[in-house]
Copies of this chain bind each other. A is one copy, B any other.
Amino acid sequence: MKTITLALFGTLAVATLATATDPLPSWNDTAPKKAIIAFVEKVTKEGSPDFIPAPERIATFDNDGTLWAEQPVYSQLLFAVDRVKALAPRHPEWENKEPFASLFKGDLQRALAGGEKSIAEIVMVTHAGMTTTEFEQIVKDWIATARHPVTKRPYTEMVYQPMLELLDYLRANGFKTFIVSGGGIEFMRPWTEKVYGIPPDQVIGSSIKTKYETRDGKPMLVRLADLDFIDDKAGKPIGINSHIGRRPIAAFGNSDGDRQMLEWTQAGGGARLMMLVHHDDARREWAYGPESKIGAFSDALMSEAKTRGWTVVSMKKDWREVFPVGKE
């Protein structure tokens, strides 16, 4: 009798606890939320055929468009534009020189008309030539004060509440969470720990080379105008291998740049979760797809997702909230 009573109370207690602590309150009770919970429960259940030991529970997240907004243009590019303006007084020669001249006129489209060459030029003059310590401070100062051009919220509030909950939920279940982004590694690290709970050593991104120097007996790392690594598309599995040295068991992205990361994740043996956020919510965020210049989600990717059984998250249907509430 005592055993039965205890068992009953035990069941009740567990049920109450589960209700009281829905780990993903900003997700609707649709397929993606169910897929996440089913996956986490099976890989963490000891004795289950799908059990995966904690050290192997690696989850990787793209950043732009997956953890925070990437419209109307990548935040890092807006950071670079702000830096160009801040540096302008020291560079009078930029006044009549593209892509800078158009930037000063606020014509971002014309400034970027030169394509990758223009972008590389803007990135290098704003991201290189200082020490790593100086650059870290520049990013910290910018992220503390800059505002999103459309919503006027700080960029650190342009993050997706459902994904913050997902990061917490995975970590509470023994996962180690990593960012694997095409964005600059040193542009993300100064704020990812505070915003996402992801420490700098778990951030992987694109990088430029650095050089070790000693000035007045003080060692420093100087950022060079020399590309080191592009952490996008096929670069993502390479970056994962280089930084993590272990294949993820779960990967989250939102665009064509994440395809290889998801393929690489799925190709490992055992239980896997691959998920893509689809931006189809013009009212609460943005709706964009195969034709977008930023974060394109091509028809080929959608087709691959279906064939391979990847979960596509409809921002409109599957997310109860998009951005953190109570901060607006």
User: Closest B-chain residue to A193, C-beta based?
Assistant: B55
Report which residue of A178, A199, A218, A220 has the largest number of chain B beta carbons within 10 angstroms of its beta carbon. A199
How many chain A residues touch the partner (CB < 8 A)?
38
Q: Which of B176, B185, B219, B244 is the one whose CB lies under 8 Å from A263?
A: B219
Report which residue of A176, A211, A212 has the largest number of chain B beta carbons within 10 angstroms of its beta carbon. A212
Chain A, range 190-229, C-beta contacts under 8 Å to B: 193, 199-203, 207, 210-212, 214, 218-221, 228
Q: Which of B189, B193, B219 is the one whose CB lies under 8 Å from A264?
A: B219
Contact residues in B for A235 (Cβ distance below 8 Å) = 212
Say yes or no for A246: interface residue by CB 8 A criterion: yes
Contact residues in B for A243 (Cβ distance below 8 Å) = 201, 243
Chain A, range 94-130, C-beta contacts under 8 Å to B: none
Say yes or no for A71: interface residue by CB 8 A criterion: no
Q: Report which A residues bind B (CB closer than 8 A).
A: 55, 58, 132, 176, 178, 185-186, 189, 193, 199-203, 207, 210-212, 214, 218-221, 228, 234-235, 237-238, 241-246, 260, 263-264, 267
